[in-house]
Structure 1
């Protein structure tokens, strides 16, 4: 499997063929649903969390969405639900509180200040270098007791959700 940081610039025929298949699959999903969800499992280095993000919302004039620190099933369900609202015309803004059934206490929309270090697949899709990355919003979820990372008593190590801009892919 190619490196998770792969930018698409390679001369290896096997990797090029794999990327071509991924591009065709991604195009079919975006054509059908208007967006796709890219899930990236936890990295091999400490501090590399699992995360997921959308690809396709930028083409609708909206920032892509990022969720960090949740499992694949929850990440997909959450991004499918919220991105589906964007497809129907909703515009999310930083600071907004979303009531999402997949997360007990809800979600807060925050700006992702370093999308070029996170959205490799989306930037590849839109052919944008990291320094001109597509914009993104991080959906910050509350812990099972209902607290957010900025609340007293938040246990970031236990819940594994880094703050926007403090992590990279």
Structure 2
């Protein structure tokens, strides 16, 4: 408890803003790099002998997240993600978003995509795993295994391909909620 003469410590500006901005600016040219077949994913993720994907990447945008348990502390969540498609239906990417508490956050991941799910050609599932950064004080306990803002994450995605380039996706955020997004392949 603070005495009347003590003031709470002044925290420096959130370092997550700088990290998110640096990653965003670094990826601003990623679609052009992907079109030139430049690799920004580790080569060990590619499957030797697998057919080359028909597209190089996907950008997705999420304007809405539904929380299982609503809290007055929750803020509007917005996400932009960029994936690179690799041979063997593998992928890697980065997501920039404001988390449920208004903190700038980043998710760097690799994963696998499964197409033609349940015999439906347009239905697909993605499973990604990676490192999440952004849940810092006072919300560091809102994600499991968080250490200094970094925590592991696994995010399953169910999607439906509307056209060869457009899809809608539902990201399952564990016991926190569901994220609705739109994806555009390039």
Q: Same fold (TM over 0.5)?
A: no
Query: Comparing both structures, which one devotes a greater share of its residues to strand?
Result: 2
TM-score by length of 1: 0.34
Query: Comparing both structures, which one devotes a greater share of its residues to helix?
Result: 1
TM-score by length of 2: 0.32
CA radius of gyration, larger in: 2
